[in-house]
Amino acid sequence: MVTKHIFVTGGVVSSLGKGLTSASIGMLLERRGLRVRMQKLDPYINVDPGTMSPYQHGEVYVLDDGSETDLDLGHYERFTNGPLTRDSNYTTGQIYLQVIEKERRGEFLGKTVQVIPHITNEIKSVIRKLGDESVDVVITEIGGTVGDIESQPFLEAIRQFSLDVGKENCLYIHLTLVPYLKAAGELKTKPTQHSVGQLREIGIQPDVLICRCERSISREDREKIALFCNVPLEAVVEEKDKEFSIYEVPLGLVENGLDQWIVDKLSLSAAQPEMDDWHDLLHRLRNPSHEISIAVVGKYAEHFDAYKSIYEALDHAGIHHLAQIRIGRILSEDIEDDGPERLLTGFDGILVPGGFGERGIEGKIETVRFAREKGVPFLGICLGMQCAAIEFARNVVGLDGANSTEFDKDTTHPVICLLDEQQNVTEKGGTMRLGAQPAVLQEGSHAHKCYQTDYVLERHRHRYEFNSQYRQQFAAHGMHATGVSPDGKLPEILEVVDHPWFVAVQFHPEFKSKPIKAQPLFAGFIGAAIARRQKKTTDEGMTAENAPVGDGDAVIDAR
């Protein structure tokens, strides 16, 4: 069977949830037994998001193969099972880089190199790359909004694509907004008409319109959209805001017949989607038996997308334990100003995520100290682990002024230092220690109990590492390397023995968490937090409702 291609574009405004919708479509097709590959094409000029600030771009999502990708790929991995690789995310910068390198090698044989056909050909070739005979459907999401100058070559390329592979093998899905105007008391279809108009101007007639809306769209309005946008009524699909959980999105789309419409249009033979476990997931989400609070202390606490996969992984662990998790997002600089007691007292678990740069670092170190001394379950991730090592060195081992050479090149006690392989690296993009790396776990450790195995593969993204020279000294004081690289050289997991649950990891476990399969360390962490809350409630005769949940200025999300 020829591979079918689905293209997802977005109109009217950004942040419509194109990634989530594309991931949901991928999931529904997979659950009909189809082999699906997901891909995102981003119109910005950076070669990848690895060099971009989280303020600009949110989290950088790392794949097994070490590629640094858009956070939408996190949605793809959480919803679908098809493999994601370097070929799953391209940017304008990468496409141009490839074309320019070909030009330098003389591959264009003296021709003038132009956007059409050379850039568009390169775009088509990266789409085609995913569609080998082992794949039934490739879903390609085009980043940005229709009408942006920088998306034009991508839209032109996907227009041409259907001429190359046959119209019957392509489907264009356009995600649009149908806003509710309070003053008029009605939904407005005009922005959708305009954005479809812009698509048609460049030669793309969408087959399906997915309409994001706050309120249900009447049949009359759907008819109007269908008529003006030249699509059948059944192909105008409502996607109403989900107040409860993003994991409701796929079920809403099934209800509105989207997956059936897609398989019919593409003549795919596919069974009904198997969704029982997903219904069960939502049931678990809606019926928690516990309520706990977790503090996430980082530099970008106010920026929700910066720690996206961490918040998701916490939710998954909550689903696993039937726990509703209230997340307190706390700025590490506020800990420096107000002290940890004021901001962290009452939380059942504390997590310090990854990061770069010195700002807020002392606040993170204070946070670790608070968690360690008060016996609060602690999970440190990447920079969070490095802070845990610095804190332990200073306050337990007695190494005054211990630090990472990332923050103090001349520290007398460089407990965190540059990886050997990084010594001569000067370029910033794509040069960290990246992607899946193995670690061997020590039996009896918390990590081993969580994973229930001796050997794990987790994803990394860092330049600095625990300095093995200090390993013995740390162990003598009660912080052990319970996970190490197979050659024994790099400590990847540190645990404090004399503590209910203190695990700090050099990798990013959040990237491998799924809603129906919580990542083991996150599950262990939340389990420990629940145990702490239960003990506190019994000890103090408190109910979950009247127990304090942080008394400071943390932003608390009940998710």
Query: What is the number of the residue whose Cβ is closest to ligand GLN?
Result: 354
Residue 69, SS3 per DSSP: strand
Q: Which of residues 395-424 bind ligand GLN (CB under 6 A)?
A: 406
Nearest approach, Cβ of residue 383 and ligand GLN (Å):
3
Tokens 């943390």 -> residue? 554
Nearer Cβ to ligand GLN, position 172 or 464?
A: 464
Closest distance of CB 335 from ligand GLN, Å: 17
Shortest distance in whole angstroms from residue 113 CB to ligand GLN: 37
- Say whether 229 is catalytic: no
Helices 190-201 and 219-229, packing angle to 10 deg:
20
Catalytic: 341?
A: no
**Residue 5 CA: distances (Å) to CA of 78, 120, 125, 158, 246:** 21, 17, 13, 10, 25
Cβ 365 to ligand GLN, closest distance in Å? 14
Residue 308 is a binding residue for ligand GLN (CB under 6 A): no
Residues contacting residue 206 through CB under 8 Å, at least 6 positions apart: 9, 172, 173, 174, 196, 199, 229, 231
Enumerate the β-bridge partners of residue 462. Answer: 433
CA distance 81 to 516: 12
Among the residue ranges 65-73, 87-95, 148-156, 348-356, the one whose residues contact ligand GLN (CB under 6 A): 348-356
Alpha helices in 208-269 (DSSP H): 219-229, 249-255, 258-265
Is 356 among the residues that bind ligand GLN (CB under 6 A)? yes
Nearest approach in angstroms of CB 394 to ligand GLN is 18
Count the Cβ atoms, other than its own, within 10 Å of residue 252: 16
Query: Count residues contacting ligand GLN (CB under 6 A)?
Result: 10
Distance CA 372, CA 378 (A): 8
Q: Give Cβ neighbours of residue 478 (< 8 Å, ≥ 6 apart).
A: 396, 496, 497, 498
Q: How many CB atoms lie within 10 A of CB 219?
A: 10
382 scored as a contact of ligand GLN (CB under 6 A): yes
Site stretch for ligand GLN (CB under 6 A), options 280-288, 328-336, 351-359, 544-552: 351-359
Task: Give the DSSP per-residue string, 432-472.
Answer: SEEEEEEEEEPTTSHHHHHH-SSEEEEEEEESEEE-GGGHH
Q: Which is nearer to ligand GLN, 82 or 353 (CB)?
A: 353
User: If binding is defined by CB under 6 A, does position 35 make contact with ligand GLN?
Assistant: no
DSSP code for 526: H
Among the candidate windows 6-14, 94-102, 322-330, 352-360, which touches ligand GLN by CB under 6 A? Answer: 352-360
Task: For residue 382, indicate whether it is catalytic.
Answer: yes
Residues 332 and 535 sit within 8 Å (Cβ to Cβ): no
- 210, 383, 479, 554: residue in contact with ligand GLN (rule CB under 6 A): 383
- State the minimum distance, in angstroms, from the CB of residue 74 to ligand GLN: 15
Catalytic, out of 170, 211, 213, 382:
382
According to CB under 6 A, which residues from 448 to 487 bind ligand GLN?
A: 461-464
Q: Which is nearer to ligand GLN, 158 or 306 (CB)?
A: 306
**Between 324 and 519, whose beta carbon lies closer to ligand GLN?**
519
Task: Give yes or no for residue 306 binding ligand GLN (CB under 6 A).
Answer: no
- Cβ-based nearer residue to ligand GLN, 270 or 434: 434
Question: Which residues, in sequence order, are CB contacts of 540 under 8 Å at separation 6+?
Answer: 547
CB of 84 to ligand GLN, least distance (A): 19
Query: Quick check: 300 binds ligand GLN (CB under 6 A)?
Result: no
Q: Which residues are catalytic?
A: 382, 508, 510
Binding site for ligand GLN (CB under 6 A): 354-356, 382-383, 406, 461-464
